[in-house]
Chains A and B, each alone.
Chain A
Amino acid sequence: MTRTSGTSGTTVRGTAPHEARVALELRELGRRYGRHWALRNATFRLPAGRVCGLVGPNGAGKTTMLEIIAGLRRPTRGEATVFGAPAGSAEARARVSFLPQEKPLFTRFSVADTLRMGRELNPGWDQALAEDFVRAGSVALDAKVGSLSGGQRTRIALAVALGKRPDLVLLDEPLAELDPLVRRQTVGALLAEVAERGITVLMSSHLVAELDTLCDYLLLVSRGGLRLAGDVDELISVHRLLSAHGDAVVDAPDGTPAGLEAHTVVQAQRERRQVSALVRPGGPVTDPWTAAAPTLEEVVLAYLEQGDADALISPNSHVPGTGTEVAA
Chain B
Amino acid sequence: MVCMKYRIERRRGVAAYQQIVEQTKRALRTGTLRVGDRLPTAREVAETCAVNPNTTLKAYRELEREGVVELRQGIGTFVARAPEPFVPDAGSTLHAELYEWTERALRSGMAEDDVRELLETALARYGDAAGDVLVTEERKGGPA
Enumerate chain A interface residues (CB-CB to B < 8 A). Answer: 12-15, 49-51, 184, 187-189, 191-192, 194-196, 209, 212-216, 233, 236-238, 240-241, 281, 290-297, 315-316, 318, 326-328
Contact residues of B with A, CB < 8 Å?
Answer: 8, 10-13, 15-17, 41-43, 46-58, 61, 64, 71, 73-74, 121, 124-125, 128, 131-132, 134-135, 138-139, 142-144
A194→B125 contact, CB < 8 A: no
**Can you list 24 A-B contacts with CB-CB less than 8 angstroms, sorted by A residue number?**
A12-B53, A12-B54, A13-B73, A13-B74, A50-B54, A51-B54, A184-B50, A188-B48, A191-B51, A192-B47, A194-B53, A195-B42, A196-B43, A213-B8, A214-B52, A236-B15, A237-B131, A237-B135, A238-B135, A281-B135, A292-B124, A293-B131, A295-B10, A326-B143
Q: Which residues of B contact A194 (CB under 8 A)?
A: 46, 52-54
In the bound complex, do residue B12 and residue A293 qualify as a contact, i.e. CB atoms below 8 Å apart?
yes
Q: Which of A192, A214, A315 gathers most chain B CB within 10 Å?
A: A192
Nearest-CB distance from B130 to chain A (Å)?
A: 11
A189 contacts B47, C-beta separation under 8 Å:
yes
- Partner of A318 from B8, B50, B143 at Cβ < 8 Å: B143
A-side contacts of B52, CB under 8 Å = 51, 191, 194, 213-216
CB contact under 8 A between A15 and B143, given known A188-B49, A236-B15, A291-B128: no
Is B46's CB under 8 angstroms from A195's CB?
yes
Q: Give Cα A215–Cα B121 distance, bound, in whole angstroms.
A: 29
Neighbouring B residues of A281 by C-beta, 8 Å: 132, 135
Which one of B47, B51, B53, B71 contacts A15 once the chains associate, using CB atoms below 8 Å? Answer: B71
In the complex, which residue of chain B has the Cβ closest to the Cβ of A326? B143
- Alpha-carbon distance A195/B60, docked complex (angstroms): 14
Q: Name the CB-closest residue of A to B125.
A: A290
**Contact call B53/A191, Cβ cutoff below 8 A:** yes
Q: In the complex the two chains form, is A191's CB within 8 Å of B57's CB?
A: no
Q: A15-B64, A236-B15 are in contact. Are A316 and B54 (CB under 8 A)?
A: no
Residues of B within 8 A of A297 (CB): 10
What residues of chain A lie closer than 8 Å to B53, measured between beta carbons? 12, 191-192, 194-195
Residue on A nearest B51 in the bound complex, by CB: A213
- Distance between Cα atoms of A12 and B42 in the complex (Å): 10
A295-B12 contact, Cβ under 8 Å, with A237-B135, A315-B143, A328-B143: yes
Nearest chain-A residue to B73 (Cβ)?
A: A14
In the complex, what distance in Å separates the CA atom of A249 from the CA atom of B24? 43
- A50-B54, A216-B58, A327-B143 given; 17 more Cβ-contact pairs under 8 Å: A12-B53, A15-B57, A51-B54, A188-B47, A192-B46, A192-B47, A213-B16, A233-B15, A281-B132, A291-B132, A292-B12, A295-B10, A295-B12, A297-B10, A315-B143, A316-B144, A328-B139
